[in-house]
Amino acid sequence: MTGNLLVRGGTVVLPTGRREADVWIDKGRVAAVGPKLAVPPGTPELDARGRWVFPGVIDSQVHFREPGNEHKEDLATGSTAAIAGGVTSVFEMPNTSPSTTDGDAILEKLRRAAGRMRTDHAFFLGATAENADQLGEWEHTPGCCGIKVFMGSSTGDLLVWDDENLERVLCSGTKRIAVHSEDDPRLKERYRQLVEGAPVTEHPHVRDVETAVRSTTRLLDLVERTGRRVHLLHISTAEEVELVRERDLGDLVTTEVTPNHLFLVAPDCYLQHGTYAQMNPPVRDQRHRDALRQALVDGFFTCIGSDHAPHTLEEKAKPFPHSPSGIPGVGTTLPLLLTAVRDGWLTLEQVAEFTANGACRVWEPRTKGCLEVGRDGDLVVVDPEVTQELPLEWLHSKVGWSPYVGTRLAGWPMTTVLRGRIAWHEHAPVGDPAGVPVLF
Ligand code: DOR
């Protein structure tokens, strides 16, 4: 299902610059971008005067919990939370229950998504020691964006912690591998030493800088040896930024940062939000946050992923360390980045780069892009005049909480367009869910 649409008179923001222009989408694909376009009579129009028109956000790291934990989120609610935040494509992680560890499991997720998801979507294949040799075959399943490796234990039981099996994974297939990089032996040792009753402010010390650096060092050694392309998810330390820079492995290594690591800071976030600010790898102190912000500004990071990781209020209320790690966020990435523009440390163009173009550079989807002619007509129209505090009702995750409720906004996504169809407008869905698989 695709649409025809003329988005009239907005400020089109692309990674390369911004200009007053119309966007004409014909049969779902961008047909032209330019001033005062003449289009076939009868083409539906959306008035974007006074608004910013961004490429649809591509969130390449979300956890939507289906199958197995639909009480936290499901593909329908997760994609609703996404489209409400200007997200038009999501790439979903394999730590569901059961885990997504073969081609059939990907096809099963695609079946469940059909007619229920409001965004386009693709799914990661989880690597294990058992399936390592077949990853190269299953990574070609349609709708599979790539492979995901957990080097450190997090939510779920996916784990490949040792160099021998990691190397087998890196030698199986060719698609880029997304990596959660924390050293599992060190994690196990440090959780053993943690005293019962320790406060959640200990979280970034249990999963410390050395845990991240040790793992990333081992990974980069393996990347150098095997020549396999990897994508380092949610980098959380200044030291890893330095390490990746020093090793200078070019396109073999792409990188992601999450809004949580850019907009929360320890210990304040733990004092304010308790275990609701707990995620893996942890939000750390200001030295790291400042280094990550600077690295983003400098162009070190390829993209921003939300790591939307919903757990219910009741689950999060358990005492640390029994509280699950993860923060919902698929709907707040774009609004938070707009506050960074207001505060003067990011440009609108950088926002377009990190929310849309970056993920395309990493995962190379066939028809997605940044409003280039011939690509999918996915976009989001932002009203820069919305400056109120974020209310919970504007977020649509099943879990019903976010550490960002109350944040003073600097713009809000009012209309989200998916392949030429208005899919979300002024806080409400439009039409039936029409998301389709993203192909690579
Ligand atoms: O905090 C996290 N939560 N980090 C992960 O790696 C997994 C995620 C989840 O699925 O809950």
**Comparing C-alpha atoms, which of 3, 18, 54 is closest to residue 369?**
54
pLDDT of residue 210: 98
Ligand 1 centre distance from Cα of residue 63 (Å): 8
Distance (Å, whole) CA 152 – CA 182:
5
Task: Check pocket membership of 169 for ligand 1, CB cut-off 6 A.
Answer: no
Find the DSSP H helices in 3-134. 75-84, 103-113
Strands 120-126 and 144-150: parallel
Q: Please work out whether the CB of residue 409 comes within 6 Å of at least one atom of ligand 1.
A: no
Q: Which residues are catalytic?
A: 307
Residue nearest to atom 4 of ligand 1 (CA): 280
pLDDT of residue 1: 78
Residue 72 CB less than 6 A away from ligand 1: no
* 286-297 vs 238-247: helix crossing angle, rounded to 10: 40
What's the pLDDT score for residue 403?
A: 98
CA 19, chain centre distance (Å): 27
Evaluate: CB of 154 within 6 angstroms of ligand 1: yes
DSSP sequence for 290-354: HHHHHHHHTT---EE---B----HHHHTSPTTSSPP-B--TTTHHHHHHHHHHTTSS-HHHHHII
Can you give the pLDDT at residue 140?
A: 97
Q: Which of 180, 264, 279 to mutate to test the pocket of ligand 1 (most atoms within 8 A of CB)?
A: 279
Residue with tokens 């976010």: 402
Dist CA 161 CA 170 (whole Å): 13
Atom of ligand 1 nearest to the CA of 156: 10
Distance 185 CA to ligand 1 centre (A): 18
- C-alpha 75/C-alpha 108 separation (Å) is 12
- The residues, ordered by sequence, that sit 6+ positions from 70 with a Cβ below 8 Å of its Cβ are none
What integer pLDDT is reported at residue 248 of this predicted model? 98
Q: Is the CB of residue 181 below 6 angstroms from any atom belonging to ligand 1? A: no
Which amino acid, one-letter code, is at 420?
G
- pLDDT tens by residue, the chain, 440 residues: 789 999 999 999 999 999 999 999 999 999 999 999 999 999 999 999 999 999 999 999 999 999 999 999 999 999 999 999 999 999 999 999 999 999 999 999 999 999 999 999 999 999 999 999 999 999 999 999 999 999 999 999 999 999 999 999 999 999 999 999 999 999 999 999 999 999 999 999 999 999 999 999 999 999 999 999 999 999 999 999 999 999 999 999 999 999 999 999 999 999 999 999 999 999 999 999 999 999 999 999 999 999 999 999 999 999 999 999 999 999 999 999 999 999 999 999 999 999 999 999 999 999 999 999 999 999 999 999 999 999 999 999 999 999 999 999 999 999 999 999 999 999 999 999 999 999 99
pLDDT for position 2 = 87
Q: What is the helix (H) or strand (E) element at residue 170, kind and residue range?
A: helix 163-170
Beta bridge pairs of residue 380: 54, 416
Would you say the C-alpha torsion 30, 349, 418, 98 has a positive or negative sign? positive
